[in-house]
Chain A
Amino acid sequence: MLGKGGKRKFDEHEDGLEGKVVSPTDGPSRVSYTLQRQTIFNISLMKLYNHRPLTEPSLQKTVLINNMLRRIQEELKQEGSLRPVFVTASQPADPLSDNFREAQPAFSHLASQPLLPTDFVSTMPLESCLTPASLLEDDTFCTSPTVQHDGPTKPPPPALQPVKDSFSSALDEIEELCPAPTSAEAVAAVTAADDSKDHPSESNVQKPEGLPESRTAESKLMDSLPGNFEITTSTGFLTDLTLDDILFADIDTSMYDFDPCTSATGAASKMAPVSADELLKTLAPYSSQPVTPNQPFKMDLTELDHIMEVLVGS
């Protein structure tokens, strides 16, 4: 299931990591948690929308994956409580809804608009960096993973942590360039992102819909579908792809090489797991020391420079 020597590498790496780490509150654990969560989020989305069985997909499986997505989305919402996260599912919503509504033709929408797994992790065009500052800012205020444990019924306010290192100062510079969004602005930013879906000319790429003109129809269709098992826009899975793209700009997309054949037949079970586990093993394990709230989200400074260049336009 895993590559040979993977475990050994991991042990060494972990030792090295622990050797360097002064306190358990350092960045890598936080990064690993966030990355793991995003990995699982993407995997879940792909599971729901990537396979087209001839028979009805298992309702149990769909429900469990949906619950997973909801939980992660709830957590993201709490962490970046200034800006709710939406996931575009307007096109893929249809096959899902069709499964759960009786007497409805299924997969007709899906057939016309093929969904590519790489779409979710595609490198975004530079023009679509609409709110990089807000994302960066939100990431510095990530709350601990223990938030997830309490569930959506217990909403802790995002911990506003003082940031003191060089990363934070660079962050402040970016904030000066782009005004930091308040909650209203964050919503507006999202609305802008949503609106951009309706305008195919916008660079905010919404790849799930193969045809630009279908986007408007799809988003409206999704809102109006009765008995739609898909989550509504209020708690829905409408992706702000800019968030995903930024977080995954550096991720090797070969890990998400979801060949529809293999995922449908479940073959090569030894192959697929290599990617997910290796990804996790290069990071601190989620199950290890609990992560405390004071976690500034550390990004590569080179990546930061890149973003700054984009913003400044140089």
Chain B
Amino acid sequence: FLGAGGGNDIQWCFSQVKGAVDDDVAEADIISTVEFNHSGELLATGDKGGRVVIFQQEQENKTQSHSRGEYNVYSTFQSHEPEFDYLKSLEIEEKINKIRWLPQKNAAQFLLSTNDKTIKLWKISERDKRPEGYNLKEEDGRYRDPTTVTTLRVPVFRPMDLMVEASPRRIFANAHTYHINSISINSDYETYLSADDLRINLWHLEITDRSFNIVDIKPANMEELTEVITAAEFHPNSCNTFVYSSSKGTIRLCDMRASALCDRHSKLFEEPEDPSNRSFFSEIISSISDVKFSHSGRYMMTRDYLSVKIWDLNMENRPVETYQVHEYLRSKLCSLYENDCIFDKFECCWNGSDRQERLFPTELLLSSFHPLCSIVMTGSYNNFFRMFDRNTKRDITLEASRENNKPRTVLKPRKVCASGKRKKDEISVDSLDFNKKILHTAWHPKENIIAVATTNNLYIFQDKMN
């Protein structure tokens, strides 16, 4: 694992939990996306009610070296509202599907948030001063009687309580017939892509009234539709390259220089099916729910229902590594199909690099820096989440729960007993709670801090600092 000492496993400790305590989950509070910004100072969550909540990390107190800064609420705003599609007589959910941060260029922060149909660019800015001493207005805003003004003065800025304001700067609408599942900002920081079930569009951040369609897999005859797009992402370094995954377990890499419409892939990543594992559900469990490039862009990670796979972009015919998340569910697939759990979309993430700063593209080109992506993390059921160390090949299962979670106490590893006699402290597959699913996790880009979202709570864990 990472760490100055090297060779030591990370010891994860509970740090904080955000959200309602009671078991009765309000639908609107269900967390639907979690994302750190590029510095890790800000942590954004989106929920089913269309709200975005941003947490800010406290500046580290140098005297308190036993823990890193805590995350406190920084800004809350309503990003999307429910809409009604009159043509189809259907509601458009306000649920936030994805949030992506832009790199910081000035004092303000910018993020993209999207629901099923509309993407919005939000500016989050701080105000800690306000002008005082207007000539024509009183302090409370009422206009003064001009005849009482006898002198002129220049208004001055005086400090005020910090106010964080979020304002929508761009609204990118009416470009998607189907449900948006991904947004990804290009490494040029000028364009971004948005992907729905059948199409991928390319936008310029400044231009809202048009977008370019770069992938279209809608068949002429919808009856022939057998495959949809499930996720898409730009390459972290090559601004002409992106990948998209499908419900059939394939990933296509496309080069936008090849043609305007990237319907023909440059590379097709697909692992041949294992005949011994074939079942009625083979296709469904092969559907990829998330795809993430490594920081260097040399590798990418995909998540399907039962496993996490690491692909080398230079090898298309199979992944270089496969990690089983919850193989014990393979014999339960029929039940999971019946109760729809088999369609749950788990995300996955790489560990951040705690060794070097995040660099802007020009600096990356000049340096020979390759960040480590040595640990992958993903969620499971029963509020369990899993981490796999690619170097040591060790894995760990941890639980996000309010019980047994004291700050600075190392989390106890969990174990699921697949069959046979259950040992003490093990949990049998039959007693797993499939309502408690961890779909969204995020890793701080620079430190060993992770954010794990249960249904309506956000857990923050840190490694134990010595």
Tell me the A residues contacting B by CB distance below 8 Å.
1-2, 4, 6-7, 36-37, 39-40, 43, 47, 54-56, 58-61, 63-64, 66-68, 70-72, 98, 100-108, 149, 227-232, 263, 266-270, 272-277, 280, 285-287
Task: Check A64 against B434 for contact (C-beta < 8 Å).
Answer: no
Closest Cβ–Cβ distance, residue A290 to chain B (whole Å): 10
Contacts of B287 in A (CB 8 A): 60, 64
**Residue from A6, A58, A102 within 8 A of B179 (CB atoms):** A58
A-B contact pairs, 16 of them (CB 8 A): A36-B334, A39-B334, A40-B280, A43-B338, A59-B198, A60-B197, A64-B283, A102-B87, A104-B88, A106-B89, A108-B89, A230-B223, A266-B341, A269-B434, A270-B434, A277-B335
A residues within 8 A CB of B225?
63, 100, 229
Please, which residue of chain B has its CB at the minimum distance from the CB of A272?
B339
Give the residue of B89, B228, B337, B341 whose beta carbon is less than 8 angstroms from that of A40.
B337
A-side contacts of B340, CB under 8 Å: 47, 61, 263, 266
Expressed in whole angstroms, the Cα–Cα distance for A227 and B283 within the complex equals 25
Query: Are A106 and B90 CB-contacts (below 8 A) given A230-B223, A270-B433?
Result: yes
Q: How far is the CB of A301 from chain B (nearest CB, A)?
A: 29
A210: min CB distance to chain B, Å? 20
Query: In the complex, what distance in Å separates the CA atom of A105 from the CA atom of B88?
Result: 5
Which residue of A36, A64, A232, A285 is within 8 Å of B223 (Cβ)?
Answer: A232
Q: How far is the CA of A56 from the CA of B92 in the complex (A)?
A: 8
Q: Check if A59 sits within 8 Å of B283, measured CB to CB.
A: no
Q: Which chain A residue shows the least CB distance to B90?
A: A56
B178, B331, B419, B430: the one contacting A287 at CB < 8 Å is B331
Decide: A60 and B228 in contact? CB cutoff 8 A: yes
**Contact string, B344-376, partner A, CB cutoff 8 A, digits 1/0?**
000000000000000000000000000000000
A29 to chain B, nearest CB (A): 15
In the complex, chain B residues whose CB is within 8 Å of the CB of A270:
433-434
Known contacts A232-B223, A277-B332: A55-B92 contact under CB 8 Å: yes
User: Which chain B residues in 181-214 approach chain A with CB under 8 Å?
Assistant: 197-198
Known: A6-B430, A59-B179. 8 other contacts (CB 8 A): A36-B334, A54-B91, A56-B90, A71-B280, A102-B88, A266-B340, A270-B433, A273-B338
- With A59-B178, A63-B247 already in contact, the answer to whether A1 and B223 are too (CB < 8 A) is no
Rounded to whole angstroms, the CA-CA distance of A263 and B87 in the bound complex is 26
Within 8 A of A (CB), among B65-88: 87-88
Judge whether A287 and B222 touch: CB under 8 Å. Answer: no
Bound Cα distance A55, B90 (Å): 5
- A2–chain B nearest beta-carbon distance, Å: 5
Across the two chains, which residue of chain B brings its CB closest to A280?
Answer: B334
Q: Is B393 an interface residue (CB 8 A)?
A: no
**B337 with A1: CB separation less than 8 A:** no
Question: Would you give the shortest CB distance from B439 to chain A, in whole angstroms?
Answer: 13
Report if B398 contacts A (CB, 8 A).
Answer: no
- CB-nearest residue of chain A to B428: A7
Min CB distance, A101 to chain B, in Å? 7
Contacts of B429 in A (CB 8 A): 1
Check if B280 sits within 8 Å of A273, measured CB to CB: no
Residues of chain A with a CB closer than 8 A to B247's CB? 60, 63-64
List of A residues within 8 angstroms of B92 by Cβ: 55
Determine which of B198, B221, B284 lies in contact with A68 in the assembled complex, contact meaning CB atoms within 8 Å.
B284
Q: What chain B residues lie within 8 Å of A149 (beta carbons)?
A: 275, 278
Closest residue of chain A to B197 (Cβ to Cβ) is A59
A224 to B303, CA, bound (A): 40
In whole angstroms, what is the CA distance A272 to B54 when docked?
A: 37
Complex: how many Å from CA A68 to CA B280? 7
B87 touches A107 (CB 8 A): no
Complex CA–CA separation, A280 to B336 (angstroms): 13
B435 within 8 A of A: yes
B338 touches A36 (CB 8 A): no
* A103 to B90 CA separation, bound complex (whole angstroms): 11
Q: Measured between alpha carbons, how far is A272 from B339 in the docked complex, in Å?
A: 6
B259 interfacial contact with A, CB 8 Å: no
Tell me whether chain B's interface is mostly helix, strand or loop, or mixed: loop
Contact of A59 with B93 at beta-carbon distance under 8 Å, contacts A232-B223, A272-B338 already known: no
Nearest-CB residue, chain A, relative to B280: A40
A36–B335 alpha-carbon span in the complex (Å): 12
Chain B positions within 8 Å of A60 at CB level: 197, 228, 230, 247, 287, 343
Contact present for A266 and B339 (CB under 8 Å):
yes
Known contacts A104-B88, A272-B339, A276-B334; is-contact A67 B179 (Cβ 8 Å): no
CA distance A43 to B279 in the complex (A): 16
Nearest to A256 among chain B residues (CB) is B338
A105 neighbours in B (Cβ, 8 Å)? 87-89
- Residue B227 CB within 8 A of the other chain: yes
Known contacts A43-B337, A98-B88, A229 near B179 by CB under 8 Å: no
Given the known inter-chain contacts A55-B93, A276-B335, please indicate yes or no for A101 contacting B222, CB distance below 8 A: yes
CA distance A67 to B246 in the complex (A): 14
A36-B280, A105-B88, A277-B335 known; A100 vs B434 contact (CB < 8 Å): no
Contacts of B222 in A (CB 8 A): 100-101, 227-229
B198 closest partner in A (C-beta): A59
Q: In whole angstroms, what is the CA distance A270 to B336 when docked?
A: 10
For B343, the chain A residues whose CB sits under 8 A away are 58, 60-61, 64
Provide the residues of chain B in CB contact with A68, threshold 8 Å.
280, 283-284
For the complex of A and B, 8 pairs with smallest distance between CB atoms: A273-B335, A269-B434, A59-B197, A229-B222, A269-B339, A277-B335, A2-B430, A272-B339
What's the nearest-Cβ distance from chain B to residue A45, in Å? 12
* CB within 8 Å of A: which B142-177 residues: 177
* B338 x A276 contact (CB < 8 A): yes
Q: Chain B residues with Cβ under 8 A from A70's Cβ?
A: 226
Which residues of chain A come closer than 8 Å to B431, judged between CB atoms?
A: 1
Give the contacting residue for A277; candidates B88, B178, B334; CB below 8 A: B334
Is B28 positioned at the interface, with any CB of A under 8 Å from its CB? no
Give chain B residues whose Cβ lies under 8 Å from the Cβ of A58.
179, 343
Q: Which residue of A lies closest to B177 (CB)?
A: A102
Decide: B338 and A63 in contact? CB cutoff 8 A.
no
On chain B, the residues within 8 Å of A37 by CB distance are 280
CB-CB under 8 A from A263, the residues of chain B are: 340
Residues of chain A contacted by B332 (CB below 8 angstroms): 1, 273, 277
Report the separation of the CA atoms of residues A150 and B204 in the bound assembly, to the nearest whole angstrom: 46
B432 at the interface (CB under 8 A from A): yes
Q: How far is the CA of A266 from the CA of B244 in the complex (A)?
A: 28
Query: CB < 8 Å: which of A36, A104, A273 contacts B336?
Result: A273
Closest chain B residue to A275 by CB distance? Answer: B338
Please, which residue of chain A has its CB at the minimum distance from the CB of B432?
A: A1
- List A contacts of B93 (CB < 8 A): 55
